[in-house]
Amino acid sequence: MDYAAILEKIVKALVVDQEAVRVKEFQEDDEQSILLEVMVQEDDLGRVIGKNGKTASAIRTLMQASSALHDNKYVKINFDKF
């Protein structure tokens, strides 16, 4: 399953500068976890994280639910700016 593509589509729907969105996927050592790194412009970081982190939390929940349906891996997501 391509978690990076799914996450990129979700994040691009939230930001103004869609061309600047970068998502990288890293396999963790235990093979039951995946780390996704999301890079956006500084101005868009607030849109992705949301008030009190609610948007970021919702994104994490969506990705974890998607994983539970397919290969049941733990999905970690880090949000950062350029």
What is this structure's pTM? 0.91
Instruction: State the pLDDT at residue 29.
Output: 85
Q: Which domains does the chain have, with CATH numbers?
A: 3-81 (3.30.300.20)
**C-alpha atoms less than 13 angstroms from C-alpha of 61 in its C-beta half-sphere:** 6
Say whether pLDDT at 1 is over 90. Answer: no
Q: What is the average pLDDT across 40-55?
A: 97
Instruction: State the pLDDT at residue 6.
Output: 96
The span from the CA of 61 to the CA of 45, in Å, is 18
Q: What is the average pLDDT across 7-35?
A: 94
